[in-house]
Amino acid sequence: MTTNSLGLDASGLLAGLALVLTAACVYFHLKAFSYWSSRGIRGPTPWPIFGTNIYYLLGNKLEVDTRWRKEFGKTYGIYEGYLPTLRTSDNELIKSVFVKQHSSFTDRNNKFTHEPVQRSWLLWSDGERWANQRALVSPMFSSAKMRPWVPLMSSCFDHFRTEVDSRLAKQKQKQKHDKNVTLNKTDLGCLLLDLISSSFFGLRVDTYKDTTNEFLVQARAFAKLTFARFLGWLLLPRPVARYFEYELVPYKRYEYFDLLTKRIVEERRTKRQGPQKQDFVQLFLDAKLPDSYEPVFNSDDDREAHYNDQMKHEQLEEVQRGHASGARMFKKFTDLEIRGQMTFMFVAGFETTTSTINFCLYELAHKPHLQQVLLDELVTAFGGRKQAQEVATRGFSSLRDNKETIDLLVGLKCLDAFASETLRLYAPIIEVNRLVSEEGGVSIPGDSVGQSKPIYLERGTPVSVNPFILHRDDDYFPSPTEFQLDRFLPENRDKIKGSTFMPFGLGPRHCVGMRFALLSVKLIIARTILNYVISPGPNTTIYPPAGFQQNFIFLLPHANDFRVSSRVLIGDEEEDNGTDHHLSSCE
C-alpha cells in the first residue's frame, strides 16, 4: 500500500478528493438553485443539470404551465438548466417589462443561436443592431404599405378556391348526395405557401398539383421539428449548447431558402434594368434610411392598435423616430441580413398564420350561427347578396382600389372581433420572452409576488410569458375557455385589462409583420365564408379541443380537419334588393 509523507494512502486521498468534489457540486447546485428562493419567489423544484425543463419531458408543456400557474400564482421562478427565468402572467408586470421598462429589456433569450444567417434574424438581434434593423423593416408593414398585397392575396385564394371547387365537383360525381369535401391544415398550408412563394420570393409555385416541387418539399420539412431537437432544447445546459454550437433550428433545415434568397438577390443586383418584382426580397433590397426622417405611421394604423395594447400611431412614430435617428450601424441591409430576414419571415409567418386560419375554421365549423353573423356583415358591407356573390367569385376587383378593400376588411367589427377572440383562445405562439439588457441589472415591481419592495434581476435574466396561459386567466377574461365574440367589439374593448392580450407580443418589439398576418387571415376567412359552408371534419367532432400537441413554441392541435360545401348567395328563388333579410347582430 502506497503512503505519502503525511501517512495517507492513495485510497484515502481519492476518498477525500471525492468528498470535496461532492461537497463542491452540492454547494454549486444549492447556490445556483437558490436564485429565486433568496428573492422570496416560489417555483417548481429544479433538478440538477436540467433545472425545471425536465418537467416538460414528463408532461405536456401547456398542462405543466397551467399546473404551475395554479400552484405558484401569476409569477414564479423556473430554471432553464441553471439559468433562472421569471415566468409571469401578471399584466402589470408584463406591462413593466414589455412596455414601460422596454429600454431595460430590449433583447430576447437566444440560447441556441450560433449560425451567422440565423444570428442576423430580427428576432435575435439585440441592442443597436435590433433598433437599426427595426427602423428599416417597420415601414414595410405600415397600413399604407399593405395595399399592394391585396390583389396577390386574393389571387392566391382564387387558386385555393379552384382546387376546392374541383374536389367538390369530383365528389358530386362520385356520390350525388354527398356535397362535402374534407380539408385539413395541409390544404391551408398550400394556400399559405402559395402566398409566401409569391409575396416573399416572387415565385409562382403550383402548391396543389406540383407536390414534388422543391420549394414545397423543403417548406414542409422546414416547418417540422424533430423530437431529438426538442429534447436538446429541453435538456442541454446553456454552456454545453454554446460550446458545441448546438442549433435549435440547424442550418440544413433552411439552407434551401437561404440559397434561394442569395440567388435572387445576386440576380437582381446584376440586372437592374426593366420592371422590378413586387415582393419582400425587393423591399429589403430597396430599404434605406433617409437622410432626414420621414413619417411612417398614421391614424389608419390605430384601427388595429388593440392587438398591441392600444399602442397608437403617435407612440409607434416616436419609437420609429428614435430607432431611425439612433441608427448608426448601417443605412441599408447587407446581403447576409436580407437572407436572414427572409428565412426568419418564413419561420415566423408560415406556421403561425396557417394555424390561426385553421383554428378560425374550427370555431366556425362548430358555430354555424357565427358563420351567419359574419356572412351577414359581409353582405351588408358589400351592398347586398349580388355584390357579395361577385366578390366571392371574382375577389375584390369589384371595389375601386386596394385601400377600399383594406378599409372594408379592417372596418368589419364582427370579423375583427372574431379574429381577436380566436387569437385569444388559440395564441399561435406559446412562449414569449425578454432579457434583462441593462448593464447593472434592473428592479421590477414586487407586487406580483406579494412583496412591497422591488425585485432585483441581474443582467441576462429572462422574463417569459406563455400567452396561452395569460389569455385563459379568469382574472382577466370571464369564462376564459368559452368563445365569446362580443369581448372584442369596439364598445367592449375598454373592459379588457391592459397587457392581457398579446398574440403578437407587446410594446416596441411586438411582431413587425402583424398587419400583414391580420390582413391575410381576414381576407382568407372573409372569402371562405362567402364561398363555403363550414362543418366539423371526421376527426374534429369534439368541442372544445381535447388537448394540444407537445411543442415549445407553436400551439398545434391534435386534429385539424374540417368539411366544406358550396355556399349559394344568389339563387333563382331568391331576389336581391341590396339588403339581407337575415341580418344578425354581433351582439
DSSP string, 427-471: -SB--EEEE---TT-EEE-SGGGT-SS-EEE-TT-EEEE-HHHHH
Instruction: Please check whether residue 31 is in contact with residue 23, taking contact to mean a CB–CB distance below 8 angstroms.
Output: no
Segment 520-536, tens digit of pLDDT = 999 999 999 999 999 99
Q: Which residues lie across from 566 on neighbouring strands?
A: 532
Of 246, 245, 222, the residue nearest 233 (C-alpha): 246
User: What whole-number distance in Å separates Cα of residue 139 and Cα of residue 258?
Assistant: 23
Instruction: Look at 25-29, 195-199, 214-218, 384-388 and tell me which has the smallest mean pLDDT.
Output: 25-29
446's grid cell: 414586487
Give the strand pairing for 83-88 and 462-465.
parallel
Length of the chain: 587
Q: Across residues 153-180, what is the average pLDDT?
A: 91
pLDDT reported for residue 243: 74
Cβ-contact 353, 156 below 8 angstroms: no
* pLDDT for position 327: 67
Selected residue with higher pLDDT from 58 and 524: 524
Which of 537, 559, 524 has the alpha carbon at shortest distance from 415? 524
3-state DSSP assignment of residue 144? helix
Distance CA 268, CA 252 (A): 25
Average per-residue pLDDT in the chain?
88
CATH C-level class of 120-431+466-566: mainly alpha
Q: Are 132 and 323 in contact (CB under 8 A)?
A: yes
Average pLDDT over residues 65-69: 98
Cα separation of 149 and 395, whole Å?
Answer: 13
* DSSP E strand stretches across 23-82: 75-80
| Averaged pLDDT, 495-503 | 97
Name the grid cell of 581.
Answer: 333579410
Q: What is the widest separation between alpha-carbon atoms in the chain? A: 110
pLDDT digits (tens, 9 = 90+) for 170-219: 998 888 777 899 999 999 999 999 999 999 999 999 999 888 889 988 88
What pLDDT score was predicted for residue 580?
A: 43
Torsions phi, psi for 399 (to 5 deg): -80, 160
Find out whether 511 is annotated in a ligand binding site.
Answer: yes
Question: Measured between alpha carbons, how far is 301 from 296 in angstroms, rounded to an integer?
Answer: 10
Please state, in angstroms and rounded to a whole number, the distance separating the CA atoms of residues 131 and 57: 36
Strands (E), 259-365: none
Confidence tier at 28 by pLDDT (50, 70, 90):
low
- CB-CB contact of 579 with 384 (8 Å): yes
Domain boundaries, the chain: 32-111+432-465, 120-431+466-566
